[in-house]
Amino acid sequence: MNVSRRAFIGGCVMLGASTALRAQAARTTLTATDVHVAGYPTVEAMRWIGQTLERETGGRLGLRLYHSGQLGRESDAIDMVRFGALDITRVTMAALNNPFPPTQVLCLPYVFADTAHLRRALDGAPGREIARDFERRDLILLAYYDSGTRNIYNTHRVVVEPADLHGLKIRAPQSDIFMQLLRAFRANATPLPYGEVFSALQTHLIDGAENNWQTFETTRQFEVARYVARTEHACSPEALLVSRRTLDTLDAGDRALLLDIAQRSVAYMRALWDKSEAASRDSVLAAGVKENPVDLAAFRAAAAPVLAAYRRDARIDTLYKNIQELA
């Protein structure tokens, strides 16, 4: 009787272990990365994707999210996703300008009249055409996310016109467009990775940077850079990209589900963005940061040669015209 009981218990243990292993084998967990911190709209949108995948597949598909730059810089993440070492990444469009030239139109100065104009372009034909270009290098666009209107901030003084930036070292994303634009504004453009900006401001390696309100707040850069000039010089979005290799490993149903959920996450992200943009601005102004309007005509005039130079490329010019038709 004891032997039978021991055999029965042992069989149950083996059955349980076998069932657990089968369940583990049946589960697919995708890896995703973002340099932004927890709570940032893009991070929370990716978290929502993971939760929705879990719910709609009964736990068979999930997402492990590494935020706050845990897996390195955006440029590294792009390559890791291309080669299948990572499944999904969210990156700023500026990081894609050089390998994917059509994305340049989204980063050029004063292209979009407002956020609504940007979203119409991304949801329409221009966005679809740009998305197709990623596929030639084994990346698939899951979604476009907002990145807000960008302003210039610094540690020294109020900036009203481009001449006021003369002599200031302003951090630029590692993108030719932003380097050229800041030089056109008479600043000393200084390329730095995203994660190094706060310490560079603290140590006076740079005098300022340019970015959106949420990034200005969540990176704590406002604690050092106390002057914001409302230049509103760019409204470049961000890209959520998945590896083609990852999609190829999923069956047709799961592949379609991932693409669908990613598209559904856009509305969720935009609602978070709209709410947090105003909250971030209010927060840094309450902390004593000084914001001022600028001579927009002067900044637009300074930026015009940069825009004109890129429009000499026929494809960029066509995309630009198609975007302007949606204004």
- What pLDDT digit, counting tens, does each position of 27-39 carry? 899 999 999 999 9
**What local confidence, expressed as pLDDT, does residue 18 receive?**
35
Asked if residue 3 has pLDDT above 80, the reply is no
> What pLDDT band is residue 11 in, cutting at 50, 70 and 90?
very low
CATH entry, 150-235+287-324, from 3.40.190.170, 1.10.3720.10, 3.30.365.10, 3.40.640.10: 3.40.190.170
- What's the whole-number mean pLDDT along residues 288-306? 98
Question: CA-CA distances (angstroms) from residue 72 to 11, 78, 237?
Answer: 46, 10, 20
> What pLDDT band is residue 20 in, cutting at 50, 70 and 90?
very low
> What pLDDT band is residue 8 in, cutting at 50, 70 and 90?
very low
Asked if residue 21 has pLDDT above 60, the reply is no
pLDDT, tens digit, for every residue of 43-53? 999 999 999 99
Asked if residue 17 has pLDDT above 80, the reply is no
**What local confidence, expressed as pLDDT, does residue 163 receive?**
98
Helix (H) or strand (E) holding 293: strand 290-293
> What pLDDT band is residue 2 in, cutting at 50, 70 and 90?
very low
**What local confidence, expressed as pLDDT, does residue 16 receive?**
43
pLDDT, tens digit, for every residue of 129-145? 999 999 999 999 999 99
CA distance 265 to 145: 9
Asked if residue 108 has pLDDT above 90, the reply is yes
Asked if residue 284 has pLDDT above 90, the reply is yes
Centre a 10 Å sphere on the Cβ of residue 325 and count the other Cβ atoms it contains.
12
Closest by CA position to 181, among listed 316, 307, 314: 307
CA distance 271 to 290: 27
Fold designation for 28-146+236-281: D-Maltodextrin-Binding Protein; domain 2 (3.40.190)
Percent above pLDDT 70 for the chain: 92
DSSP summary character for residue 154: E
> What pLDDT band is residue 174 in, cutting at 50, 70 and 90?
confident
pLDDT, tens digit, for every residue of 200-252? 999 999 999 999 999 999 999 999 999 999 999 999 999 999 999 999 999 99
Contact 210, 178 (CB under 8 A): yes
**What local confidence, expressed as pLDDT, does residue 22 receive?**
38
**What local confidence, expressed as pLDDT, does residue 106 receive?**
98
> What pLDDT band is residue 24 in, cutting at 50, 70 and 90?
very low
**What local confidence, expressed as pLDDT, does residue 160 receive?**
98
Parts of the chain belonging to CATH 3.40.190.170: 28-146+236-281, 150-235+287-324
Asked if residue 179 has pLDDT above 80, the reply is yes
pTM: predicted TM-score of the whole model, two decimal places: 0.89
Question: CA-CA distances (angstroms) from residue 208 to 38, 85, 276?
Answer: 24, 34, 23
- What's the whole-number mean pLDDT along residues 286-306? 98
